[in-house]
C-alpha cells in the first residue's frame, strides 16, 4: 500500500542502500531527481519538494563520490535526520496490520419503551444498583474489518451508510448564517487555564527524551507544537439559521434558571476519564473504588468474585463490576467505555472507564472526550510499564496525547500494581521520571500532574492512608484526596445549549428516545424544546436523569440522560448534537483543519484516507488539499502547498468527509472544534477546525 502511495505521488520505491547509482542527481531537461526520495523536481528548485534535501549538497555528494548517503545514514545530503529516517525506514515496514472491527450499531434497538438490550426498567434497576452504565460505542468482533480498515479500503460501514441523509440535511443553505470575523485562536498547550484545550502538543522546557528509540531508527523527539495567534476567518453559530422558523440574528441571552444558584446544595459533577495501557488495572481500580465507596454492595461483589472464579478469572472480580459483557469477561479486556458514579467530599464524580486495548481506541476517544480531568493508570511491574510507554505498541502515550488534545490539563497518574514491585520507591521514582518527561512533552504542566503510587488489588492508597510499605516513603494524598484536589474546569452557561450525543437508547414506543451525553454549553430542563441535529427535528424533554436519579435541570458540564418525546427513533443518532432550537450547530463534510502530525512513518499526502473523530462522531476523511506547513513555534506559514506532511509537522489541510458531522470552529466551541485523525489503528494527527466549508 505504501509503495502504491509513493508511486501515486511520483515516488519510485527504491532501495537506496543498495543502489548507489540512484544517489546521483539525475539531470534531465527541466528536472533533477532527488537521490533521497527519487522525486523529479523542477530545475528551478534548490531543494527537493518532497523531502527537503538540498540540491547543492547532493550535487557535491555525487561529485565527490560520497556514496554513504541513504539508508538513513546519509551524513551530508542536507536532508534532515527525520526525513532520512523516514525514507530509510520504508523498506523495513511491515504491511499494515489488519484490525478487525464490527461496524457499529448506532444504538440498541429495544422491545418497548423501557428496554435497553433487554428491558430498560431492568437496565435502570441495574443502573441504580450498580451505578454505572456502558456506553455502547462500537461493538467489536475480530472477524470483521475495523473502522480504520473500512477507511483505508474505502468501504462503507453501516454507520456511514446510515448517514446518507446527512448530505440532504446539511445541504440546507448555510450561507445565510455565515458572517465573517477575525478570531484570534490562542491555543498553546500548557499555557492555558483549566478550561483550556487544544489539539496540539507542546512543552515548556528543553528536556530531551532518549529512552524510547523506536526500532526504525527515528530518535524520539519531544513533541512540540504551538499553534499560536492565528488570525482566521470564521463563521459563527448565530441564531438566524433556521429556515423553517425564519428567525434571524437572534442574540442569545441565558434565562435565569440556566445559571446555577451559588446557594444550591448540590455537588458539582466532575467527569473523570480512566485511561491507560491495556491491563494496567483501570477497571480493577474503578471497581475497587466503587466498592470501597459503597457503590457496589457486598452481595454484588461476592457474585462477581464467584462468577470470575468459576471462569478461572478470579483476579478480574473487581474489573467485572465494570466489564459486563460476556465477550469482555471472556477475553479479560474492556471493550466499551463503562460509566459509573460516586461522590467524593467535593464532587459528584462521573467515572469513565476506558478500554486500553489499541483496537478500542475509537471507543476510548468517544468516552474520554467528555473528560474534565483524567486518571492515567500505569502498571508499575517490570516490563509492563515499559510496554505501555513503547512508542509503537504502547497505549500510555497515545492515551495521554489524546486526553491532552481533548483539553484535559489536569491528570492524576496512578502508578498501580505497586504490590508486584514490593512497593519499591526506586521503581516509583523511575516511572515518575520517565513518564513525567513524556507528559511534559505533551503539554501537561508539572503542577497539574499528581502522582499516586497504589495497589488496587491490595487496596493501598486508594481512599485511605496506605500501610507502612508505602507510607514509609510516600506521604502524598491517596487517590480519593487527589481527586478532590482537582479543579473544576470553568463551565460555559452564557452560550446556547450544545450536547453532543454519546449514546442513544431507542424505544419502540412512538416518539420516545433517550440520549446520553455531557452538556458542553447551556442548560436544559424538563419541558424544554431541543433541536436535534443533524436531522433538524425538534423534540421536548420528557425527563432528565443524572446518575439514574431524576433531575429537573442539567447545565454545562453535567453528564445526563435526556429522555425525549415527540421524535422518531431514526431522527436521533449517536454523534449528533442536541441544540437550542434557535441556535443550531453547524453541519458539514468539508473542513479546514490545523493539525499536528504525530510520530508517523507514512507521510500524509493529498488523497490520504484517514478516519476523523470529532466528539462522538467518526467519519472516513480524505485529505483533499495540503494548504501549508506551519512553524511549530510561531504558527507562521513556512511553506505553501507542500506535497506531504511528515511526522511532527504542523500543517493546515482541507478534508472532505464521507458523511457530514455536527461541527463548530474551534474558536466558537472547543469541544466541537477538536478532531483526531487515525489510520491503520493509530492516531496520526490531532487538530482544530479552523474553517467550516460548504458541504461537498
Binding residues for Mg ion, rule: CB under 5 A, are 282-283, 334
Query: For cell 422491545, what's the residue?
Result: 111
Give the integer Cα–Cα distance in Å for 497 and 522: 4
8-state DSSP, 685 = E
Give the integer Cα–Cα distance in Å for 663 and 669: 9
Q: Which is nearer to ligand GTP, 286 or 561 (CB)?
A: 286
**Does the protein bind ligand GTP through residue 369 (CB under 6 A)?**
no
Q: Which is nearer to ligand GTP, 319 or 532 (CB)?
A: 319
Which of helix, strand or coil describes residue 95?
coil
Q: Going by C-beta distance under 8 Å and a sequence separation of 6 or more, which residues neighbour residue 560?
A: 516, 517, 518, 519, 544, 545, 546, 551, 554
Q: Least Å distance between CB 428 and ligand GTP?
A: 13
For the chain, report the end-to-end CA distance as a whole number of angstroms.
27
Which of helix, strand or coil describes residue 514?
strand
Query: For cell 510499605, what's the residue?
Result: 469
Whether 17 contacts 69, CB under 8 Å: no
Rule CB under 6 A: choose which of 55, 167, 357, 432 binds ligand GTP.
357
**Does the protein bind ligand GTP through residue 584 (CB under 6 A)?**
no
The interface region with ligand GTP, picked from 6-14, 227-235, 281-289, 618-626 by CB under 6 A, is 281-289
- Alpha-carbon torsion, ordered 456, 460, 464, 469, to 10 deg: -170
Rule CB under 6 A: choose which of 188, 398, 419, 547 binds ligand GTP.
419
**Does the protein bind ligand GTP through residue 284 (CB under 6 A)?**
yes
Is the omega angle on the peptide bond into residue 45 within 30 degrees of 0, that is, cis? no
**Which partner from the list Mg ion, ligand GTP, none does 320 bind, CB cut-off 5 to 8 Å by kind?**
none
Strand partners, 447: none
* Dihedral pair phi/psi, residue 4, rounded to 5°: -60, -45
Q: Going by C-beta distance under 8 Å and a sequence separation of 6 or more, which residues neighbour residue 397?
A: 389, 391, 438
**Which partner from the list ligand GTP, Mg ion, none does 369 bind, CB cut-off 5 to 8 Å by kind?**
none
Q: Which is nearer to ligand GTP, 136 or 283 (CB)?
A: 283
Rule CB under 6 A: choose which of 72, 145, 356, 362 binds ligand GTP.
356
**Does the protein bind ligand GTP through residue 311 (CB under 6 A)?**
no
**Does the protein bind ligand GTP through residue 57 (CB under 6 A)?**
no
Whether 422 contacts 383, CB under 8 Å: no
Q: Which is nearer to ligand GTP, 328 or 665 (CB)?
A: 328
Give the integer Cα–Cα distance in Å for 473 and 668: 47
Residue 387, class by beta-carbon neighbours within 10 Å (0-12 exposed, 13-18 middle, 19+ buried)? middle
**Which partner from the list Mg ion, ligand GTP, none does 420 bind, CB cut-off 5 to 8 Å by kind?**
ligand GTP
Q: Going by C-beta distance under 8 Å and a sequence separation of 6 or more, which residues neighbour residue 495?
A: 252, 521, 522, 669
**Which partner from the list ligand GTP, Mg ion, none does 357 bind, CB cut-off 5 to 8 Å by kind?**
ligand GTP
**Does the protein bind ligand GTP through residue 585 (CB under 6 A)?**
no
Residue ranges in 380-515 assigned as alpha helix (H):
384-389, 395-405, 425-442, 468-471, 479-484
Rule CB under 6 A: choose which of 319, 439, 560, 661 binds ligand GTP.
319
Rule CB under 6 A: choose which of 101, 316, 342, 428 binds ligand GTP.
316
**Does the protein bind ligand GTP through residue 69 (CB under 6 A)?**
no
**Which partner from the list ligand GTP, Mg ion, none does 280 bind, CB cut-off 5 to 8 Å by kind?**
ligand GTP
**Does the protein bind ligand GTP through residue 292 (CB under 6 A)?**
no
Rule CB under 6 A: choose which of 279, 545, 619, 664 binds ligand GTP.
279
Q: Least Å distance between CB 551 and Mg ion?
A: 29
Give the integer Cα–Cα distance in Å for 533 and 89: 45
Q: Which is nearer to Mg ion, 355 or 584 (CB)?
A: 355
Query: For cell 475480530, what's the residue?
Result: 142
Whether 435 contacts 396, CB under 8 Å: yes
8-state DSSP, 100 = B
Query: Hey, which residues between 443 and 462 contact ligand GTP (CB under 6 A)?
Result: 455-457
8-state DSSP, 460 = B
Q: Least Å distance between CB 278 and ligand GTP?
A: 4
The site string for ligand GTP over 230-269 (x = CB under 6 A, - otherwise) reads: ----------------------------------------
Whether 377 contacts 281, CB under 8 Å: yes
DSSP assignment string, 434-452: HHHHHHHHHT--GGGEEEE
Q: Least Å distance between CB 354 and Mg ion?
A: 8
Give the integer Cα–Cα distance in Å for 192 and 36: 41
The site string for ligand GTP over 493-512 (x = CB under 6 A, - otherwise) reads: --------------------
Rule CB under 6 A: choose which of 35, 72, 190, 355 binds ligand GTP.
355
Of the candidates 339, 330, 341, 420, the one whose C-alpha atom is nearest the C-alpha of residue 378 is 420
**Does the protein bind ligand GTP through residue 282 (CB under 6 A)?**
yes
Which residue, judged by CB position, is nearest to ligand GTP in the bound state?
Answer: 356
The interface region with ligand GTP, picked from 411-419, 421-429, 546-554, 676-684 by CB under 6 A, is 411-419
**Does the protein bind ligand GTP through residue 599 (CB under 6 A)?**
no
**Does the protein bind ligand GTP through residue 283 (CB under 6 A)?**
yes
* Dihedral pair phi/psi, residue 59, rounded to 5°: -60, -45
Q: Least Å distance between CB 107 and Mg ion?
A: 23
**Does the protein bind ligand GTP through residue 333 (CB under 6 A)?**
yes
Q: Least Å distance between CB 397 and ligand GTP?
A: 15
Provide the binding-site residues for ligand GTP, judged by CB under 6 A.
278-284, 315-316, 319, 333-334, 355-357, 416-417, 419-420, 455-457
Amino acid at each position: 500500500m505504501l509503495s502504491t502511495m509513493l508511486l501515486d505521488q511520483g515516488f519510485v520505491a527504491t532501495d537506496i542502500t543498495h543502489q548507489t547509482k540512484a544517489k546521483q542527481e539525475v539531470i534531465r531537461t527541466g528536472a533533477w531527481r532527488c537521490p533521497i526520495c527519487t522525486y523529479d523536481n523542477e530545475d528551478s528548485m534548490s531543494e527537493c519538494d518532497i523531502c527537503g534535501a538540498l540540491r547543492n549538497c547532493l550535487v557535491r555528494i555525487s561529485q565527490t563520490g560520497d556514496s554513504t548517503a541513504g539508508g538513513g545514514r546519509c551524513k551530508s545530503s542536507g536532508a534532515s535526520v527525520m526525513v532520512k529516517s523516514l525514507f530509510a525506514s520504508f523498506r523495513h515496514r511491515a504491511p499494515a496490520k489488519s484490525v478487525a472491527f464490527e461496524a457499529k450499531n448506532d444504538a440498541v434497538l429495544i422491545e418497548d419503551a423501557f428496554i435497553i438490550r433487554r428491558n430498560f426498567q431492568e437496565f435502570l434497576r441495574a443502573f441504580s444498583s450498580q451505578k454505572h452504565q456502558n456506553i455502547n460505542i462500537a461493538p467489536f468482533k475480530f472477524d470483521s474489518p475495523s473502522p480504520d480498515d473500512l477507511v483505508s479500503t474505502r468501504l462503507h460501514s453501516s454507520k456511514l451508510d446510515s448517514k446518507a441523509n446527512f448530505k440532504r440535511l446539511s445541504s440546507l443553505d448555510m450561507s445565510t448564517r455565515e458572517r465573517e470575523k477575525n478570531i484570534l485562536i490562542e491555543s498553546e498547550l500548557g499555557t492555558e487555564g483549566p478550561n483550556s484545550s487544544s489539539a496540539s502538543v507542546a512543552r515548556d522546557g528543553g528536556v530531551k527524551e532518549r529512552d524510547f528509540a523506536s526500532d526504525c531508527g527515528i530518535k524520539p523527539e519531544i513533541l512540540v507544537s504551538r499553534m499560536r495567534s492565528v488570525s482566521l476567518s470564521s463563521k459563527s453559530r448565530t441564531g438566524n439559521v433556521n429556515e423553517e422558523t425564519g428567525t434571524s440574528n437572534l442574540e442569545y441571552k441565558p434565562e435565569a434558571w440556566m445559571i446555577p444558584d451559588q446557594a444550591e446544595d448540590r455537588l458539582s459533577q466532575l467527569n473523570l476519564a480512566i485511561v491507560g495501557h491495556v491491563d494496567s488495572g483501570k477497571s480493577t481500580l474503578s471497581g475497587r473504588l466503587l466498592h470501597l465507596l459503597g457503590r457496589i454492595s457486598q452481595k454484588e461483589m461476592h457474585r462477581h468474585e464467584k462468577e470470575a472464579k468459576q471462569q478461572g478469572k478470579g483476579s478480574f472480580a473487581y474489573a467485572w463490576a465494570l466489564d459486563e459483557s460476556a465477550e469482555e469477561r471472556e477475553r479479560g479486556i474492556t471493550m466499551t467505555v463503562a460509566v459509573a458514579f460516586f461522590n467524593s467530599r467535593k464532587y459528584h464524580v462521573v467515572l469513565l472507564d476506558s478500554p486500553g486495548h489499541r483496537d478500542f481506541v475509537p471507543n476510548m476517544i468517544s468516552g474520554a472526550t467528555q473528560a474534565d480531568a483524567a486518571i492515567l493508570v500505569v502498571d508499575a511491574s517490570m516490563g509492563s510499564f515499559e510496554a505501555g510507554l513503547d512508542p509503537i505498541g504502547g497505549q500510555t502515550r497515545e492515551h495521554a496525547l489524546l486526553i491532552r488534545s481533548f483539553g484535559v490539563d489536569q491528570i492524576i497518574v496512578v502508578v498501580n500494581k505497586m504490590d508486584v514491585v514490593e512497593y519499591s520507591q526506586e521503581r516509583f521514582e523511575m516511572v515518575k521520571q520517565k513518564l513525567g518527561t513524556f507528559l511534559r512533552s505533551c503539554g501537561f504542566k508539572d503542577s497539574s500532574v499528581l502522582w499516586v503510587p497504589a495497589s488496587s488489588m491490595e487496596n493501598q492508597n486508594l481512599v485511605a492512608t496506605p500501610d507502612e510499605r508505602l507510607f514509609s516513603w510516600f506521604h502524598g494524598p491517596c487517590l480519593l484526596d487527589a481527586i478532590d484536589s482537582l479543579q473544576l474546569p470553568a463551565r460555559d452557561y452564557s452560550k446556547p445549549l450544545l450536547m453532543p450525543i454519546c449514546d442513544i437508547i431507542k424505544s419502540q414506543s412512538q416518539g420516545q428516545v433517550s440520549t446520553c451525553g455531557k452538556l458542553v454549553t447551556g442548560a436544559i430542563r424538563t419541558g424544554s424544546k431541543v433541536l436535534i441535529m443533524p436531522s433538524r427535528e425538534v423534540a421536548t424533554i420528557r425527563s432528565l436523569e443524572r446518575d439514574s436519579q431524576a433531575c429537573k435541570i442539567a447545565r454545562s458540564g453535567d453528564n445526563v440522560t435526556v429522555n425525549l418525546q415527540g421524535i422518531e427513533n431514526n431522527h436521533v443518532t449517536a454523534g449528533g448534537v442536541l441544540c437550542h432550537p434557535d441556535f443550531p450547530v453547524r453541519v458539514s463534510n468539508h473542513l479546514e483543519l490545523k493539525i499536528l502530525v504525530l510520530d508517523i512513518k507514512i507521510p500524509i499526502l493529498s488523497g490520504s484516507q484517514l478516519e476523523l473523530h470529532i466528539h462522538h462522531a467518526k467519519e472516513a476523511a480524505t485529505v483533499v488539499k495540503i494548504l501549508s506547513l506551519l512553524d511549530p513555534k510561531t504558527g507562521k506559514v513556512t511553506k505553501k502547498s507542500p506535497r506531504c506532511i511528515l511526522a511532527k509537522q504542523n500543517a493546515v489541510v482541507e478534508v472532505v468527509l464521507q458523511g457530514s458531522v455536527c461541527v463548530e470552529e474551534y474558536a466558537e466551541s472547543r469541544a466541537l472544534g477538536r478532531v483526531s485523525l487515525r489510520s491503520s489503528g493509530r492516531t496520526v494527527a490531532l487538530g482544530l477546525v479552523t474553517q467550516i466549508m460548504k458541504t461537498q
